[in-house]
């Protein structure tokens, strides 16, 4: 007897498909497989598919051994052949949604998936979109394409939006214990989607529509971008006011209600926070509304690398040096501490500005051995010895990885620009801290 989707989810015989096996999709595939579902990962990157089918992990938040065990026990397999969708009961789309050169949404990855999905969509199937996107994408782009197959949403198939809430490197909050929001086209869609996610996640939060769920995600990340922008602007104000922004923020954070701590930095990195707010701003433009907070936060955050350059220039000036002709070491180039991801990292902007200013720029980051930077391969310095540090006119701390010997950095560097308050409260004329009078 052909069990319906609901009973297949309940008895875990539903075959789960994850499209897009990156920092969102692969952990999700592992989570479903760990909960006894058969999972088929689909990705257009053949190398990634091959690695996965050999049980080789490439995502830091996934356990190598767990993945190897799931692949060898055939709970997880991967392919780049979308026709497997015809035997998949629930498919979850986790493909990138970047910005194009004009900073407008680039939903081409979603559209490419849709081209394939419409070939193989079948009755009694759940489709959940997780890729962060502008409100309306699920209903305006995905639904019509599926309904063209003479299938009725809420009867023949179920369509939801459920935003991912992955915080790479976060060891406390992971998939199971991070509440999951979900909004379906119909109430039955939401109910089926909620049932599926509840099989792996402790708390699933239904909302009334996909648009609500799409907007929840954008609010979450816009909230962060704007508050980080505020922290960055307060840092610049504190340099002019003659106070230490880090002391001010720490003291403000003692307020037990009505305040949430954000800290300044060299800019905004990652594949979400710098990008997601622009999806909301773009959608609002189509509705003749200007999202001014988002634009202003974007201006301030993208202006921080240039501010860091001014701090470096001011510091070199103390030693009658200029950026032009100086040797500069950037310490930490990942977009945030203790991870290996450099996407949108402000370190890359700072390095480009330094090189444009005539400096010789090197970096040290033992999470990131090599980058492709301005179309050429650049390698991390091998080790951080006293001799290495002393050979640079300035050392710029962009990402404060935990595994650095900062005492050595302090004793052996001629000049330090500290954008992460590593040397908190230390008054030393060779240390310039972002957001602190000592810096100027």
Residues that bind ligand SAJ (CB under 6 A): 164-168, 221, 224, 228, 231, 262-263, 265, 268-270, 272-273, 335-336
Q: How far is the CB of 215 from ligand SAJ (least distance, A)?
A: 14
Q: Is 272 a catalytic residue?
A: yes
Q: How far is the CB of 401 from ligand SAJ (least distance, A)?
A: 12
Q: How far is the CB of 165 from ligand SAJ (least distance, A)?
A: 4
What is the rounded CA–CA span in Å between residue 217 and residue 343? 20
Q: Closest CB to ligand SAJ among 53 and 263?
A: 263
What is the rounded CA–CA span in Å between residue 154 and residue 148? 15
What is the rounded CA–CA span in Å between residue 341 and residue 335? 6
**3: which 2 tokens?**
């069990």
Residue 87: Cβ within 10 Å count:
12
Report CA Rg, the chain. 24
**Interhelix angle 210-241/276-286, nearest 10 degrees:** 110
Q: How far separated are the first and last CA of the chain, in Å rounded?
A: 76
Q: Closest CB to ligand SAJ among 279 and 392?
A: 279
The structure tokens 């001799």 sit at 387
Residues 61, 25 contacting (CB under 8 angstroms): no
> What DSSP string runs through 220-266?
HHHHHHHHHHHHHHHHHHHHHHTS-HHHHHHHHTT-SSS-------S
Q: How far is the CB of 371 from ligand SAJ (least distance, A)?
A: 16
**3-state class of 395 per DSSP?**
strand
Q: Closest CB to ligand SAJ among 185 and 281?
A: 281
Q: Closest CB to ligand SAJ among 135 and 158?
A: 135
Give CA separation, 66 vs 26, 71, 174, 175, in Å: 12, 9, 15, 15
Q: Closest CB to ligand SAJ among 269 and 315?
A: 269
Q: Closest CB to ligand SAJ among 194 and 224?
A: 224
Residues 6+ apart with CB under 8 A from 281: 290, 291, 294, 295
Q: How far is the CB of 91 from ligand SAJ (least distance, A)?
A: 20
- Per the residue annotation, which of 94, 160, 238, 272 is the catalytic one? 272
What is the rounded CA–CA span in Å between residue 349 and residue 352? 5
Q: How far is the CB of 354 from ligand SAJ (least distance, A)?
A: 19
Active site residues: 272
């Amino acid at each position: 007897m052909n069990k319906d989707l609901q009973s297949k989810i309940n008895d875990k015989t539903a075959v789960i498909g994850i499209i897009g096996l990156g920092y969102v999709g692969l952990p999700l595939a592992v989570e479903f497989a760990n909960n006894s579902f058969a999972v088929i990962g689909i990705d257009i990157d053949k190398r990634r598919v091959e690695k996965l089918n050999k049980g080789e992990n490439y995502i830091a938040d996934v356990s190598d051994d767990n993945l190897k065990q799931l692949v060898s026990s055939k709970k997880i397999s991967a392919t780049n052949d979308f026709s497997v969708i015809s035997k998949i009961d629930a498919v979850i789309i986790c493909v990138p949604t970047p910005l194009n050169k004009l900073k407008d949404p680039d939903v081409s990855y979603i559209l490419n998936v849709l081209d394939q999905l419409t070939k193989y969509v079948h009755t009694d199937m759940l489709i959940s979109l997780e890729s962060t996107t502008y409100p309306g994408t699920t209903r305006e782009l995905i639904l019509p394409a599926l309904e063209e197959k003479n299938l009725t949403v809420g009867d023949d198939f179920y369509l939801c939006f459920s935003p991912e809430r992955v915080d790479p490197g976060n060891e406390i909050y992971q998939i199971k214990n991070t509440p999951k929001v979900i909004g379906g086209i119909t109430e039955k869609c939401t109910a089926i989607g909620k049932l599926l996610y509840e099989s792996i996640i402790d708390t699933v939060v239904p909302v009334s529509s996909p648009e609500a769920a799409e907007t929840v995600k954008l609010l979450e990340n816009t909230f962060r971008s704007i508050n980080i922008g505020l922290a960055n602007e307060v840092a610049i104000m504190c340099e002019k006011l003659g106070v230490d922004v880090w002391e001010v923020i720490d003291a403000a954070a003692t307020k037990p209600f009505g305040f949430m701590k954000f800290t300044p930095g060299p800019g905004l990195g990652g594949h979400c926070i710098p990008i997601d707010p622009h999806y909301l701003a773009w959608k609002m433009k189509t509705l003749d509304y200007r999202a001014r907070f988002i634009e202003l936060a974007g201006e301030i955050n993208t202006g921080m690398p240039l501010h860091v350059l001014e701090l470096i220039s001011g510091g070199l000036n103390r030693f009658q040096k200029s950026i032009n002709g100086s040797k500069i070491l950037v310490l930490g180039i990942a977009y945030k501490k203790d991870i290996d991801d450099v996407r949108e990292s402000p370190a890359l902007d700072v390095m480009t500005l330094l090189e444009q200013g005539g400096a010789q720029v090197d970096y040290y980051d033992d999470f990131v051995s090599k980058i492709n930077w301005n179309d050429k391969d650049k390698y991390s310095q091998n080790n951080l010895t006293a001799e290495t540090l002393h050979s640079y006119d300035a050392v710029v701390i962009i990402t404060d990885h935990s595994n650095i010997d900062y005492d050595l950095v302090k004793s052996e560097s001629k000049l330090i620009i500290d954008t992460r308050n590593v040397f908190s409260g230390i008054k030393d004329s060779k240390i310039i801290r972002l957001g602190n009078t000592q810096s100027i």
